[in-house]
């Protein structure tokens, strides 16, 4: 089932350049284009235990290009509902082309779907990058 996420009106960022787009009781999560700077292509994405409950900050995926390796973390406590199969089935570069849209990494069910503690609004995130 290929799923395009709707554009986020309830979008937040972490200070580690990851994003979460709340869609009611679930949320899409991914990494920002800034964190992928230096990547010409995505050679490998490996998911760590792609199901079950994860604490905020837990590594959910590792992304590799040559000697570069970055980790995607869980932005909040919650359960991984589904990973983005498109990234596994060959179109890994969707992560580079649309990192904050169809290049989402996982669909999660946040433990506290209305809690926004330690998350940045888009404007705060952009300001943070300019410091």
Coil, helix or strand at residue 96:
helix
Give yes or no for residue 27 having a pLDDT over 70: yes
In a domain, 86, yes or no: yes
What are the backbone angles phi and psi of residue 11, rounded to the nearest 5°?
Answer: -100, 135
Give yes or no for residue 2 having a pLDDT over 50: no
Which position has the higher pLDDT, 50 or 99? 99
Say how many domains are in the chain.
1
User: Sign of torsion, CA 68 103 71 127?
Assistant: positive
In a domain, 2, yes or no: no
**Domain of 53, in residue numbers:** 11-129
Cβ atoms of 44 and 55 closer than 8 Å: no
Q: What is the pLDDT of residue 128?
A: 75
In a domain, 21, yes or no: yes
Mean pLDDT of 35-54: 90
Q: pLDDT digit string (tens) for 65-86?
A: 999 999 999 999 999 999 999 9
In a domain, 5, yes or no: no
Q: What is the pLDDT of residue 57?
A: 96
In a domain, 3, yes or no: no
Domain of 110, CATH number, reads: 2.40.50.100
In a domain, 35, yes or no: yes
């Amino acid at each position: 089932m290929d799923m395009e996420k709707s554009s986020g009106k309830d979008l937040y960022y972490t200070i580690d350049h990851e994003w979460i787009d709340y869609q009611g009781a679930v949320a899409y999560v991914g990494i920002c284009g800034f964190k992928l700077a230096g990547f010409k292509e995505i050679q490998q994405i490996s998911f760590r235990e792609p199901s079950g409950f994860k604490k905020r900050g837990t590594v959910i995926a590792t992304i590799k290009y040559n000697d570069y390796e970055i980790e995607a973390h869980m932005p909040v406590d919650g359960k991984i509902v589904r990973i983005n199969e498109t990234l596994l089935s060959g179109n890994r570069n969707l992560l580079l082309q649309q990192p904050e849209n169809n290049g989402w990494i996982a669909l999660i069910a946040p433990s506290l779907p209305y809690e926004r503690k330690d998350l940045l609004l888009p404007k705060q995130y952009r300001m943070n990058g300019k410091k």
